[in-house]
Amino acid sequence: MDTDTSEDHIVRKNSSWWDRRTTAEKGLIVVLAITLLATVIVACLYIKSIKSKQSISSEESSTEENVCLSLGCVHTASNIIKYLDTSVNPCDDFYQFACGGFLQNTNIPDDELSISAHTDIQQNFLKKLKGILEEPTNPKDLKPFKLIRRLYKICMDTEAIENDEYETLIDSILKPLGGWPVLEDKFWKENVFNWKNLTYQLRKMGLSSRSFLNVYTSTDMANSSRHQIRLEEPVLSLNRDEYLEGFSNKAVKAYYDYMVDIAVILGADTSFARKEMKEALRFEIELGKLLPPIEESRNISAFYNPTAISELQKKYLTIRWLDFINNVIDLPDVKVKEDEIIDVSNPGFIEGLLRLLNKTPRRVQANYALFRTVHSTILYLTKEIKDRQQEYFNSVLGISEQLPRWKECTSVAVSRFYTAAGALYVRKYFDKEAKDDVTKIVMDIHSELNKTLEEIDWMDENTKSKAFEKADSMKFHIAYSDEFFNDKAVEDIYTKLTVASNNYLLFNLNLQRFTQDDSFSKLRKLVDKDDLSSHLPPISINAAYSPSSNAIDLPAGILQGVFFESDRPSYINYGGIGYVVGHEIVHGFDDQGRKFDKNGNLEEWWAKDTEKAFLQKAKCFATQYGNLKEPTTNMKLNGLNTQGENIADNGGIKLAYAAYQAWVERNGEEPTLPGLNYTQNQMFWIAAANTWCNKVRKETLAQLIPSDVHSPACFRVTIPFSNTESFAEDFNCPLGSKMNPKEKCQIW
């Protein structure tokens, strides 16, 4: 006898037809509705494909019986059709062909710099993380889980932030630092200021202490099992080329106006602020001119200069280097001595910095450094000052609105507690099937690397043997580590973290101090290449190759959407995530990665003739990309600066394609997608191109092109594909067409 008296089984006289259905009936109705909708979509797509007059020859076009009609296939086909612009001949411009529909029908949100084919992944992540962070705190929760939710809650309390105004910034930060001269006017005490002491104080407070020199702990490039202190130039706000143009540059002018307005908001007189900030910016411009041209940084060997502190002292007498470095480390149990070997990345910058400091008044130095300090805290301050920062971002990047508060707070909380956020996410949303499926794809592509190395004819046998060793030693961290389910492993990372204040600004400074302490505390410890915090967290929508670990991170965040889904054909997944995997693998053998051996150590393991052959082939890419102009800005690409990423793109797509062909040999061809009259091979290329459907603001592109190591999205499709003979064969592109040029570049 059915004794269930739940609401689903109680019929009310005035209830609607839907209300009178049982849970089971409602579920069945929903399933039937979805099935009907899928059928309608398939029919529409099929009709569209019949009507479409496409210029592509598809010798293996699908018959109706060989079309995949699953929900996964229908959904995939629907997205691809929306992205395509079939009025474009793919042999003329494959990016426009594969992404033209996306570009025409997609608008960049006012609070974003760009929008791409994987924006929906990011938005979905943020919504899920927001839900996790807004869950009630359980007393039994792990310490980091409580802290990340507490930070989110404090961030969302805008009333408390507004009530504080700038009291915490001025009373707890600027005044203890000796005051910001532009605010103090004639009351500022120049005789007590010293840029080194300011650096130490900033470090103690958890603020950025990198305004003059950047001191941090990194893996020793020559011995990847140990940590080392690295000394390098600061990361400045603008590009070197902008500093070279000075006040005539649009971005420099906008930056100057921003500096003045921030000082005025905090209480400075406008005319006085304009005078003071102009001198401060002049100092920063001179500092920026000391930076090396960005393409020079590709020569990683030139920026590895192991030097004993005692030798550094002999060369640059005006700084007591032992005291300086120990004061920046600022940990009682971590000290360096004069015989400590540190990496001085750019000795020339130090010489220039000391000359510049020697001729610059202390007041100017302080105004420069403390503006940078204030700038770094604005994210945690009032709407008034954040609005002015937003105006600056709008003028240089074209972004007109701030993120909604919940998105900003989610992003801040996650960035401060990456490991904790990753653990919270995978414990609720992990997908074991996706991890297993992607692992198979990774192994397939990795095996193609060995085949590629075997076929190369420009490598001598000894170098090739070491290349095989490096390839075989490569490690992969896919989706997430099982350690994210280990309470102790997650909690141990945050053992030394204590946060007493509920003030939003001070809370974040406390976290920054903790992060800095954690980094310096590793100086005397061996490098743990499997440490949770040393890899991309599961929530990252990215992938990365680490030369010092000879390892690739493929976090769970990127194993979805346009990159990968378990319920669609392999030609889509090999084109999507396969392109990403191939790209990261080839980074191990690009212009920088090739200089590291199988253990991640910087070493000369290439024979001279083989190295010469590589450099000649790399020069082909530098010239090819260097001759390109980005169509929106009409700016020329820097073929040297983007060389590593370009090599990875070109080699990566070939590895992914070869791996897919090997998969077909083992498993046979799969059905095609509904509404898409293309072969499986053609769909591979379309899927790969779809991952780079990307719309970026013109202002943002203008900032990226001079400095970004990546080429604009359109060239990450057209150039690698046009350098690949298989693409031209699959689309029957005539020799000499734009997508099948007579001259091609190739390394791997």
Cβ-contact 625, 642 below 8 angstroms: yes
Distance of CA 59 to the CA centre of its chain: 40
Contact call for residues 421 and 413 (beta carbons, < 8 A): yes
Enter the tokens of residue 280. Answer: 């401060």
What are the angstrom distances between the C-alpha of 407 and each of 155, 373, 382?
11, 24, 17
Per-residue three-class SS string for 269-320: CHHHHHHHHHHHHHHHHHHHHCCCCHHHHHCHHHHCCEEEHHHHHHHCCCCC
**What is the residue type of 182?**
V
CA distances to 206, 420, 430, 511, 566 from 417, rounded to whole Å, are 16, 5, 18, 9, 30
Each residue of 509-529: b (16+ CB within 10 Å) or e? bbbbbbebbbebbbbeeebeb
Q: What are the distances in angstroms from CA 192 to CA 320, 370, 374, 527?
A: 18, 15, 20, 40
Sign of CA dihedral 567, 570, 576, 581: positive
Residues 6+ apart with CB under 8 A from 557: 121, 125, 538, 539, 540, 541, 542
- Whose CA is closest to 434, among 576, 278, 228? 576
Cα distances from 235 to residues 73, 81, 214, 661, in angstroms, run: 46, 43, 8, 45
Contact criterion met (CB below 8 Å) for 413 and 151: yes
The CA distance from 592 to 297, in Å, is: 10
Alpha-carbon distance of 446 to 449, in angstroms, equals: 5
H or E stretch at 225: none
- In 52-168, which residue ranges form alpha helices assigned H by DSSP? 71-83, 94-105, 119-133, 143-156, 158-164, 167
Residue given tokens 């997508």 in the structure block: 739
Is the distance from CB of 585 to CB of 550 less than 8 angstroms? no
Q: Give the active site residue among 232, 233, 444, 584.
A: 584
Identify how many contiguous H helices and E strands the chain contains and give both numbers: 30, 11
Tokens standing for 77?
Answer: 């086909």
| Torsion sign, CA atoms 205, 206, 212, 218 | positive
Determine how many CB atoms are found less than 10 A away from the CB of residue 407. Answer: 17
Instruction: Find all residues with CB under 8 Å of 746, minimum gap 6, and list them.
Output: 617, 620, 650, 723
Burial class (CB within 10 angstroms; exposed 0-12, middle 13-18, buried 19+) of 14? exposed
Given the structure tokens 């470095």, which residue do they identify?
325
Sequential DSSP letters for 385-415: HHHHHHHHHHHHH---SPPPHHHHHHHHHHH
To the query of whether residue 296 is one of the catalytic residues in this protein, the response is no
Task: From the candidates 553, 590, 649, 730, give the one annotated as an active-site residue.
Answer: 649
Neighbours of 656 (CB within 10 A): 29
CA–CA–CA angle 701, 703, 706 (5° rounding): 100
Active-site annotation holds for 649: yes
Which residues face 307 on adjacent strands?
A: 342
Q: For the chain, what is the radius of gyration of the CA atoms?
A: 28
Per the CB < 8 A criterion, the answer to whether 346 and 303 are in contact is yes
**Active-site annotation, residues:** 584, 649
